[in-house]
Amino acid sequence: MIEIDGSYGEGGGQILRTSLSLAAITGHAIRIAGIRAGRPKPGLAPQHLTSVRAAARICQAQLRGDALGSMMLEFIPSSSVQAGNYTFDVKEAQPMGSAGAVTLILQTILLPLALATGDSQITLRGGTHVSFSPTIFYIQQVYLPMLQRMGIDAKIKLGAWGWHPQGGGEVKLLVSGGSQIEGINLLQRGDLQRVRGLAVVTELPAHIPQRMANRAENLLTAAGLKAAVQTLRETGVAAGAGIFLTAEYKNSLAGFGGLGRLRLTAEKVADMACEQLLKFHQTGAPVDEHLGDQLLLPAALASQESQYRVAEVSTHLTTNAAVIEQFGLARVTVDEGEKIVAVVPGSG
């Protein structure tokens, strides 16, 4: 049984998700202690517990410690990963309802299902666009297209928007099994082709997305970047607002966003997204901070070496690298000066 320290590094949920993915793929039993010890509310939150149960379901794992707030988990797979039709709802972990991010569940089970024999269809219910996690828009516009370059074929469709704190969103994920994962080399991003975006609200007036879009286009144009932001007004279980921007470079993609909340103007929400994008653009790096962390796992499972340059070496990235090395699948080296990540599979 592989013993994993959940308090290591940034001490968050990424340790749990990577460990679950790799346990399902390799069949290794794991024990994680100190889960999310670095967070204000440590232990398993609803989205983490749902991720645990989702990973367990696809490989028939035996569980110990699968409860809200638990800081210890044993996960013992009893079969190889089984493709199929699955539904995972955060509400089952938190009956009062939760905006726990479905994207975190998606990232836990996607690679195991992509490597399994046969195709899978997964319905995920909970939060689709919430803070401190990738939004569905980021998954759709950046994460999945970059994985596709590595040989992973997955598509996602948003059925209902789920904002904090109500949740209630739904997405459908289609994963083609039998993937042959290839390495990725991203040291140069090339010229910026365009910035495209979406300003959206549910159960709010149409002038709000228009103001977000206008503000973003004006700010980015003033900075010399070509930008086009669409507006969308949708129905939903609750009011919500957000703007999501994708920077398309010749060789790479990067995504940024701002989420509305009470007493935050539409213009301020757009400012938040634009500030992130402009800051990233100035780095010259091909890979944004979040994608840098998220590419590690597919790179570790690839048949060739990968090398990519990140805008920032985050503790998420270095923590994730340490967890991957514990499974002996790959050697990860991070050049902090050049901000280059190198992943050599099969040499952990």
Whether the Cβ atoms of residue 292 and residue 314 lie closer than 8 Å to each other:
yes
Q: Residue length, the chain? A: 348
Q: Which of 129, 164, 281, 316 is catalytic?
A: 316
Known binding residue 107? Answer is yes
The rounded distance, in Å, linking the Cα atoms of 42 and 71 is: 7
Known binding residue 89? Answer is no
The rounded distance, in Å, linking the Cα atoms of 241 and 249 is: 27
Tokens of 340: 């280059």
Known binding residue 291? Answer is yes
Known binding residue 28? Answer is no
Question: Catalytic residue at 207?
Answer: no
Phi, psi of 245 (to 5 degrees): -120, 135
Concatenating the DSSP letter of every residue in 237-288 gives SS-EEEEEEEEEESS-EEEEEEE--TT--HHHHHHHHHHHHHHHHHH--SB-
Whether the Cβ atoms of residue 116 and residue 177 lie closer than 8 Å to each other:
yes
Concatenating the DSSP letter of every residue in 104-156 gives HHHHHHHHHHHHSSS-EEEEEEEBSB-TTS--HHHIIIIIHHHHHHTT--EEE
Tokens of 54: 């989702």
Residues 6 or more apart whose Cβ sits within 8 Å of residue 129: 135, 136, 137, 161, 162, 163, 169, 240, 242, 257, 259
The rounded distance, in Å, linking the Cα atoms of 158 and 125 is: 10
Known binding residue 290? Answer is yes
Tokens of 305: 């070496």
- Looking at residue 204, what DSSP letter applies? S
Residues annotated as catalytic are 316
Bind-site residues = 107, 290-294
Bind-site residues for ATP = 107, 290-294
